[in-house]
Structure 1
Amino acid sequence: MLWLLLLIPIVLIGLSIYFARKRKAQPHVNMANENKEAFEEMYYDQGAAQKSADPKHTKPF
């Protein structure tokens, strides 16, 4: 019965490692790291601060 208690965490750790490696191998996941500057520029250009300063997006209470 002790082997079952040890087997469950080992299997879960193995599955998490497998899916982490599989996810890192996908090109669209790695693209976010490569285009960090582009995402930062989009954030500053189209972010919430710019939208809140625009009068068409605000409502008077």
Structure 2
Amino acid sequence: MLWLLLLIPAGLIALSIYFDRKRKSQPHVNMANESKETFEEIYRSEGAGKKSHDPKHTKSF
């Protein structure tokens, strides 16, 4: 029975490592290659500060 208690966490760790490697190998998921300017532009154009000034996204209580 002790081997079963050790097998379950080992299996979960192995699955986690497998999916982590699979995720990192996908180029569109790994955003570490993106430049800082790109992230700043996305933040300025789609950020919460920009949307808070839009009357479509605000409600008067």
1:1-61 pair list within 5 angstroms:
1-30=1-30, 32-37=31-36, 38-54=38-54, 56-57=55-56, 58=58, 60-61=60-61
Q: Secondary structure at the match of 2:29?
A: helix
Q: Tell me how large the CA RMSD over aligned residues is.
A: 1.9
Q: Count matched residues.
A: 59
Between the aligned residues of both structures, percent identity stands at: 63
After superposition, the C-alpha distances for 1:27-55 in whole angstroms (9 at most, x for unaligned) are 1111x22224212212123322123234x
Structure (1 or 2) with the greater helix fraction: 1
**Change over 3 Å in CA distance of 1:45–1:2 after alignment to 2:** same
Cα distance change, pair 9–60 in 1 and its aligned pair in 2 (3 A): closer
- Structure 1 runs (4+) deviating above 4 angstroms are 58-61
Show structure 1 runs of 5+ residues with no match. Answer: none
In structure 2, the gaps of 5 or more residues are none
Matches of 1:51 and 1:24, distance apart in 2: 32
Distance 1:59 1:15, change over 3 A: closer
Work out the CA distance in 1 between the residues paired with 2:53 and 2:22: 42
Residue identity opposite 1:33 in structure 2? A
